[in-house]
Amino acid sequence: MKLSLIQLKTAAAPEENIARILPLLKQAKAEGADMAVLPEMCACPYENAAFVRHAMELDAPFLQELGAAAKELGLYLVAGSVPEKCKNKIYNTSVVFDSKGHRIAFHRKMHLFDINIEGGQYFMESDTFTPGEWLTTFDTPWGRFGLMICYDIRFPELARLLVLESADAVIVPAAFNMTTGPAHWELSFRARALDNQIFMAGCAPARDTNASYHSWGHSIVTDPWGTVLGQLEENEDILTVELDFSKVEKVRRELPLLKHRRTDLYGIGSVMSGTDTNWR
């Protein structure tokens, strides 16, 4: 299958962003995409004031239009993430639509990005967001996908839990910054892919030096051997990569890391799965 990562600059409001996203989805489809992915916070700027101002419910017009586009184009769509309003809380949430426009999953970012690097980046997501509490996987005609958001990738337990839930690939809408991006972006995706023998795909916003938060960009896809299949620079672009899921089976057969785990000596717990009926 073909996967397209749409790296675009984020405008000030959801209605501006949807007007820019829809033509790019059509472009991705024209490039042969079976699934498209949008960046973290594709509806509004990455800043706490904007999260509050543009918080939306899961049936908001912005997401309805994305679902309608997925149906029109016959495209699976991982709709980056949006600030989701639920009761009196706000979550950093990614919504997945199938090729008929049905919402088949959503993931609330489990690990909030609170960082204070001397001489570098300062940001506190916990000033606004509530952390999510479940694993998220979704099934497609090509295989099972797991879903993370940005900072979630730094916790190897989460990637392993998704693999134990039979994920063949993990999608990560993300917005690493100019401090962490150069140091850890590619390394994180290669490491999670290598350790778990899966495809990893990270879709970032394009860099906007006029924004308050400067994204590293560099949307990326890595394969089960830890090889980078494709990576963008910092500008607006679309990265389309073909994923051959037989490679997951081949790598795991030739180098059976998962079978060699010493579960008699160590183990990993679990959390509620987004495939359970009681998560909706």
Q: Could you list the active site residues?
A: 40, 109, 150
Mutual orientation of helices 61-73 and 14-30 as an angle, nearest 10°? 10
The number of CA neighbours under 13 Å toward the Cβ of 63 is 27
Angle between helix axes 180-196 and 156-164 (nearest 10 degrees) is 30
Instruction: Please answer whether residues 236 and 20 qualify as being in contact, where contact means their C-beta atoms are separated by less than 8 angstroms.
Output: no
Which residue, among 28, 31, 35, has the nearest Cα to 1 in the 3D structure?
35
Collapse the DSSP code of 134 into the 3-class scheme (helix H, G, I; strand E, B; otherwise coil) and give the result: strand
Which residues partner with 169 through β-bridges?
A: 145, 199
- Would you give the distance in Å from CA 59 to the centre of its chain? 20
Parallel, antiparallel, or unpaired for β 137-139 and 114-116? unpaired
Indicate the length of the chain as a whole number.
280
Q: Which residues pair with 146 in a beta bridge?
A: 137, 170
CA dihedral (94, 99, 101, 105) in degrees, to 10, reads -30
